[in-house]
Chains A and B, each alone.
Chain A
Amino acid sequence: GNSVTQMEGPVTLSEEAFLTINCTYTATGYPSLFWYVQYPGEGLQLLLKATKADDKGSNKGFEATYRKETTSFHLEKGSVQVSDSAVYFCALRSGGYKLSFGAGTTVTVRA
């Protein structure tokens, strides 16, 4: 079946630090890959997505590249801000309609 494994948190960074959250997946077929973000007290918001191998999704300074050879979709941001503090979820969709999520990584950015 489909599954997503992402880096365990929590992750604590200083402002302007570099952020990487690792995500690897197992899927049948050719999945679409997503990163969602959940700010405190809010629902999930789509951060970025990639639909085929070697695609790069980007948004708000975040980037992730769909690597089929390593079955990975790592999230990166070059310079984080306090406002980036949130829980980040890696997810995939393959062979159906449901999204399969990782367990989430809590990121805290300190001023």
Chain B
Amino acid sequence: DAGVTQSPTHLIKTRGQQVTLRCSPKSGHDTVSWYQQALGQGPQFIFQYYEEEERQRGNFPDRFSGHQFPNYSSELNVNALLLGDSALYLCASSWGTDFSLNTEAFFGQGTRLTVV
């Protein structure tokens, strides 16, 4: 089992550019969440995708958008990059909709984005 895979591992972009980050969920998982982890901070929830739709969103501007494909993989897009967008972007996958089952979220190793 490959677990959650993210690409690329590192990325350097210039202010104002656009970036796309990719995530493949763990086998058997159908839900993908994205988190932003600034240096020295805990991860902050960006949004979650299920059945190709955004199910919940955190406090992030519309410059952050996403997509989920029929094979459950997902992309995170960030437009008009700011220096403050420099962070580790983590993808987490899980299964199902019923959190009373307390399904575990599995995290990828992340994409380190540097905006210069």
Contacts and interface: CB of A to CB of B under 8 A. Distances in A.
Contact of B42 (A45, A97, A102): A102
Interface stretch (B14-22, B66-74, B98-106): B98-106
A93 interface: yes
Nearest to B48: A97
Contacts of B45: 98-100
Given A98-B45, A98-B56, A99-B45, A46 B104 contact: yes
B24 to A, nearest CB: 13
Contacts, number: 56
Q: Name, among B90, B99, B104, B108, the residue most crowded by chain A CB atoms within 10 Å (CB to CB).
A: B99
A102 B43 CA distance: 8
B42 A98 contact: no
Interface of B: 4, 31, 33, 35, 40-45, 48, 55-56, 58, 90, 92, 99, 102, 104-110
24 contacts: A41-B109, A43-B110, A44-B90, A46-B104, A46-B105, A46-B106, A49-B102, A49-B104, A51-B102, A89-B42, A93-B99, A97-B31, A97-B55, A97-B56, A98-B58, A99-B33, A99-B35, A101-B42, A102-B42, A103-B40, A103-B41, A103-B42, A104-B41, A104-B42
Interface of A: 4, 32, 36, 41-46, 49, 51, 89, 91, 93, 96-104
